[in-house]
Structure 1
Amino acid sequence: MTEIFHEQIWNVAESHIGIAWHKLQTMSAPSFFETLPDPKLLEAFKTKLISTESARYINNYYTNLYSLSSDILVLPIVGEMSRYSYWSLGMEEMAKLLDVARADEKYKGAVLKISTPGGTADGCSLLADAVTNFRKSKPVVTSTNRCLSAGYFIASQGDEIVVEDSAMSSIGSISSLFIYENYSRQLQMQGVDVEMIRAQGGENKAKINPYEPLTEETRGYLQAQTNAARKEFVGYVKRGRVGKIKNEDVFSGNVYGAKDAITLGLADRIGDFNSAIKRCQQLAHA
């Protein structure tokens, strides 16, 4: 899709057109709504949250974009993941799309088309639960060449994971981390003094910031929070891949190639996207 903004041409990657269109409608001037091809979508696009009608449109768009099988929903999970993404699908939005597709009789199953290095812990359980709920009535298969961290959190809740037979395919990174950056020394070298003045009675306000070293108390809090995120991650994987995980070492944060992932129970079979579609159809008619 190409649109002109302020006399500049912006190009939007095909995989992001559907959600980009939705967000353009919700954030643009009212006159822009007149360009909608279907008047029925007018009210659907006027809300910040994806309505049922707009979710159906986006589901239909992605399914038609990636597959000839209109009875199997295709949900792309591409790039870095977060609860609220800007131009790509956020995890809340993806959960909404799955919930709407679950109630849509035309879809007999879903394929998650995943290629991601991971993302934020916030939002993972929400989307994972949406996959689990979908799976209760219809099969969910993941097709992936790169399914790491948050991506695997989500994929593990489906029925099967199909991984591409490529030297660059990667699965895993099951753990969590918190990255803290402290710029206080750099600022001192530049002659910049930063002083935090906190309100009396609110001395713990913003104790995690890039201008002050962490206190041991704050470091302990972050460690506990990171540990809790990993515990939740591992718990979900064990629930979704029950009886399949062969070795507890997979929860150390390691990343595995396609064949090792299958040996360890992190994935189920080698195959491309089309084979994942066919497998989902098989499960749907089993």
Structure 2
Amino acid sequence: MAQTPAKRGNWFKRLLGRDKTVIPVIRLQGVIAADQRQGRLNIANVAPLLARAFAIKSAPAVAIIVNSPGGSPVQSRLISKRIRDLANEHNKPVLVFVEDAAASGGYFIAVAGDEIFADPSSIVGSIGVIMAGFGFVDAIGKLGIERRVHTAGRNKSTLDPFQPEKAEDVERIKTFELDIHQVFIDHVKSRRGSKLKGADDALFTGEWWTGVRGLDLGLIDAIGDVHEVLRSRYGTDIVLKPIAPKRGLINFPRFGFSAESLVGDLSASIEDRAVWARLGL
């Protein structure tokens, strides 16, 4: 018996593997910061990945793997908002999977998901705001260095590391931090809602927890990894399609280096290492 065109078409799709369910997977890994260094997360480099993932019309969902200790509150919010905007526009559920950590800004991004899954030993939470620096007042005095600062605006030199710390500067910074902290709290409450199982003074202190404890507190929905969950949810006949940054066809070698660039990269690496180290990672 001759095959119908539809049956021949289905056979051809199976041969090419096009009859499988394709689920786009985006990996968001690194410290969240506005600068365009390799390994940093920000709206500029994440937005194109999100657009490509949500453009796959046949996909029943979009999976996002988060592995971040946090960083810029602005970039965290912009990324989280873009995820929700696209999810609502395309009417697709977003499943977030936490690897080592979704802490601070990383958790801000994670709660954009309709469901959050984590490893039992993942780090989640750290719903707080931190601002840190150094003071070199005594150091420059011992070196015989005189600091000269001229400003227009009496608060322009707030927390200058080469001048003694002022109580009014600290109070102003604390108000600044509390404003940002409230944005974070409101965002978590709006996304997690009744799933949260703890008082504000327990959940929003900046403390972080393991995935197991995060499940008890309602910070995540279940323990699981991307392969396990997606296969149980959409069947074993699925294809996970990684959505990665596009690379140029030709990478030309660079000769020489800029001392300024080298120092900047080293400084950024130390800063990133310090952020991860706060989580013991």
Which TM-score band applies after superposition, normalised by the shorter structure? 0.5 to 0.7
Quote how far apart the aligned CAs of 1:106 are. 4.5
Partner of 1:275: 228
Task: Please state whether the residue corresponding to 2:77 is helix, strand or coil.
Answer: helix
**In the alignment, which residue of structure 2 is the partner of 1:160?**
115
Q: Aligned partners of 1:277 and 1:83: how far apart in 2?
A: 32
**Alpha carbons of 1:183 and 1:281: their partners in 2 closer, same or farther (altered >3 Å)?**
farther
CA distance in 1, matches of 2:232, 2:191: 18
Match of 1:195 in 2: 148
SS of equivalent to 2:96? strand
State the Cα distance separating 1:246 from its structure 2 match.
0.6
TM-score by length of 2: 0.68
Paired residue for 1:24? none
Counterpart of 2:98 in structure 1: which amino acid? T
Residue 227 (structure 2) pairs with residue 227 (structure 1): no
The equivalent of 1:56 in structure 2 is none
CA distance in 2, matches of 1:82, 1:276: 30
Partner residue, 1:138: 92
Report the Cα distance in structure 2 between the residues aligned to 1:279 and 1:245, rounded to whole angstroms. Answer: 25
Matched position secondary structure for 1:238: helix
Equivalent of residue 50 in structure 2, options 92, 95, 98: 98
Quote how far apart the aligned CAs of 1:103 are.
Answer: 3.8
> What do the CA deviations read for 1:1-45 (whole angstroms, capped 9, x no partner)?
xxxxxxxxxxxxxxxxxxxxxxxxxxxxxxxxxxxxxxxxxxxxx
For residue 33 of structure 1, what is the aligned residue in structure 2?
none
Query: In structure 1, how many angstroms separate the alpha carbons of the residues matched to 2:74 and 2:46?
Result: 14
> Given residue 216 of structure 1, which amino acid in structure 2 is its aligned partner?
A
Q: 1:207-234 CA distances to partner (integer Å, 9 max, x unpaired)?
A: 3322123323322221111001110001
Per the TM alignment, residue 70 of structure 1 is displaced from its structure 2 partner at its CA by 7.4
- Gap runs ≥5 in structure 2: 1-19, 236-281
Whether contact under 8 Å (1:95, 1:126) holds in the other structure is no
- How many residue pairs get matched? 210
Distance in structure 1 (CA, Å) of the matches to 2:203 and 2:232: 25
Distance 1:70 1:181, change over 3 A: farther
CA 1:281 to 1:232, structure 2 compared with 1: closer, same or farther past 3 Å?
farther
Distance 1:213 1:95, change over 3 A: farther
The structure that has the greater radius of gyration is: 2
SS of residue in 2 equivalent to 1:252: coil
CA distance in 1, matches of 2:173, 2:96: 32
Cα distance change on mapping 1:280 and 1:99 into 2, 3 Å: farther
Q: Secondary structure at the match of 1:147?
A: strand
Residues 46-66 of structure 1 deviation map (CA, whole Å, 9 limit, x = unaligned): xxxxxxxxxxxxxxxxxxxxx
1:262 is matched with which residue? 215
What amino acid is aligned across from residue 274 of structure 1 in structure 2? Answer: H
User: 1-side partners of 2:232 and 2:206: how far apart?
Assistant: 29
Which amino acid is 1:147 matched to? A
> Which residue in 1 is equivalent to 2:238?
none
Amino acid at match of 1:124: S
Paired residues of 1:141 and 1:280 also in contact (CA < 8 A): no
How far the C-alpha of 1:171 sits from its partner, in A, is 1.0
User: How far, CA to CA, are the matches of 2:128 and 2:162 in structure 1?
Assistant: 27
- CA distance 1:202–1:112, shift in 2 (3 Å): same
Give the 3 Å change call, closer, same or farther, for CA 138–217 of structure 1 in structure 2.
same
State the alpha-carbon separation in 2 of the partners of residues 279 and 143 from structure 1.
15
CA distance in 1, matches of 2:126, 2:231: 28
> Runs of 4 or more off by more than 6 Å in structure 1?
none
In 2, Cα distance between equivalents of 1:112 and 1:280:
15
User: Residue 267 of structure 2 corresponds to which residue in structure 1?
Assistant: none
Q: Which residue of 1 aligns with 2:25?
A: 74
Partners of 1:262 and 1:273 lie apart in 2 by 17
Describe how 1:201-216 pairs up with structure 2 within 5 A.
201-216=152-167
Stretches of structure 1 that go unaligned for 5 or more consecutive residues are: 1-68
1:128 aligns with 2:80: yes
CA 1:96–1:279: 2 relative to 1, 3 Å: farther
